[in-house]
């Protein structure tokens, strides 16, 4: 049997045909164009899936179900998207709309949750009992796996690790609260730290790389310069990885999973990132002499969403509320 995985993003719709092992057989993608009516987006999600199916040489009879990862929350009892902020979707009957094109079981879940599940089914945390996946991107997403299954909580609102409070009355967050973890550990946070350093050091190498304009700074620039040993970039990187180590300790002290998997843009820093985190972590651990979660890089990259969504369907898993 094969499964369709759909990764619905704010800019791209990606669909893939996934086999029992979590390997991609074929893929297709198209633009989301999120300001269209949701019916049009849903139609393109179906078309994109059928396009991937055609590439694979399989037919709908070979497909066991459709899984969808969304940047939001869904209710799998009703098949409705509860909300999906960056598509402007609130209470959208996505399953019904898609079933107009594909008569298959459809499950919808949060994108970070399915990406974490993908790593646990076919990636770096494959086969482990418990893991926590962190996407370090524009924001910070979390995907918790317990007993090999995605954990989304009793009310479907778990694993919002980006919105744990790391600083009481700290930096205002886009969510309306203050001091949320993603204000310190996202790529956006790294860039803000870099802007601050560049404003105070307008002659620094990073400012030159950014063409003299802090608006051009990217996380990649900071990390590349830090790898080269640039003083200011290293200062930014060390501040960022201190916060990340504190966040990782929070995950360990709360849940102590077998593995913590780092994904998203910042994770492209690779071993350089893992080494920095492992160096700082002991200072923040509660039990400094006991073993703790392995920290690893995500291995499925941008395909994790597709794969995890499809695997969710294979496993017949759906959280109560997302």
Site residues (vs a second copy, CB under 8 A): 73, 82, 129-130, 142, 144, 146-147, 151-161, 163-168, 170, 175, 177, 184, 243, 246, 249-250, 252-258, 283-284, 286-287, 290-293, 321
Closest approach of Cβ 260 to a second copy, in Å? 11
Distance CA 77, CA 62 (A): 25
Place of tokens 């560049």: 198
- Cβ at position 232, least distance to a second copy in Å: 21
Nearer to a second copy, 147 or 203 (CB): 147
What six digits make up the tokens of 41? 């987006």
**What separation in angstroms does the CA of 175 have from each of 143, 152, 161, 195, 210?**
19, 19, 13, 22, 29
Which residues, other chains included, contact 112 with Cβ-Cβ below 8 Å and sequence gap of 6+? 133, 135, 141, 142, 143, 159
Enter the DSSP assignment of 165: B
- Least Å from the CB of residue 163 to a second copy: 5
Looking up tokens 């006991």 gives: 290
Please tell me the distance from the alpha carbon of residue 186 to that of residue 136, in angstroms, as a whole number. 5
* Closest distance to a second copy from the beta carbon of 115 (Å): 17
CB of 84 to a second copy, least distance (A): 13
Rounded to the nearest 5°, which phi and psi values hold at 32? -75, -40
Residue closer to a second copy, measured from CB, 125 or 214:
125
Closer residue to a second copy, CB minimum distance, 161 or 273:
161
Distance of CA 188 to the CA centre of its chain: 14
Long-range CB contacts (within 8 A, 24+) of 126-129: 128/257, 128/258, 128/259, 129/258
Nearer to a second copy by C-beta: 220 or 242?
242
In this structure, what is the dihedral angle of CA atoms 132, 137, 139, 142, given to the nearest 10 degrees? -10
User: Of the two residues 66 and 92, which places its CB atom closer to a second copy in the complex?
Assistant: 92
Minimum CB–partner distance for residue 116 and a second copy (Å): 13
Report whether 18 contacts 307 (CB < 8 A).
yes
Among 254, 86, 236, 81, residue whose Cα is nearest residue 164 = 254
Between 144 and 191, name the residue whose CB sits nearer to a second copy: 144
Q: Which is nearer to a second copy, 5 or 139 (CB)?
A: 139
Least Å from the CB of residue 227 to a second copy: 25
Q: How far is the CB of 33 from a second copy (least distance, A)?
A: 27
Between residues 4 and 144, which has the closer beta carbon with respect to a second copy? 144
């Amino acid at each position: 049997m094969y499964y369709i995985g759909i990764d619905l993003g704010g800019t791209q719709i990606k669909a893939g045909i996934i086999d029992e092992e979590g390997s991609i057989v074929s893929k297709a993608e198209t633009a989301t164009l999120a300001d269209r009516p949701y019916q049009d987006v849903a139609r393109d999600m179906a078309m994109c899936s059928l396009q991937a199916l055609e590439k694979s040489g399989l037919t709908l009879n070979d497909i066991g179900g459709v899984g969808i990862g969304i940047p939001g929350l869904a209710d799998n009892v009703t098949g409705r998207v509860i909300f999906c902020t960056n598509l402007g979707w609130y209470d959208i009957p996505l399953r019904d709309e898609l079933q107009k094109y594909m008569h298959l079981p459809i499950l919808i879940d949060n994108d970070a949750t399915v990406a974490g599940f993908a790593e646990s089914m076919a990636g770096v945390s494959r086969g482990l009992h418990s893991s926590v996946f962190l996407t370090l991107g524009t924001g910070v997403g979390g995907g918790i796996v317990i007993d090999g299954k995605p954990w989304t909580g009793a009310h479907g609102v778990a694993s919002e690790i980006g919105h744990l409070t790391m600083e009481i009355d700290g930096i205002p967050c886009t969510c309306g609260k203050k001091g949320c973890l993603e204000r310190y550990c996202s790529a956006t946070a790294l860039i803000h730290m870099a802007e601050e350093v560049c404003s105070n050091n307008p002659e620094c190498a990073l400012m030159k790389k950014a063409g003299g304009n802090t608006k051009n700074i990217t996380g990649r620039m900071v990390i590349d310069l830090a790898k080269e040993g640039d003083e200011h970039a290293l200062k930014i990187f060390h501040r960022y990885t201190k916060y990340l180590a504190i966040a990782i300790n929070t995950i360990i002290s709360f849940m102590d999973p077998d593995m913590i998997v780092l994904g998203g843009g910042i994770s492209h820093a690779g071993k350089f990132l893992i080494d920095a985190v492992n160096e700082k972590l002991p200072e923040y651990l509660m039990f400094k002499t006991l073993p703790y979660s392995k920290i690893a890089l995500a291995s499925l990259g941008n395909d994790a969403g597709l794969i995890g969504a499809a695997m969710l369907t294979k496993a017949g898993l759906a959280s109560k509320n997302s």
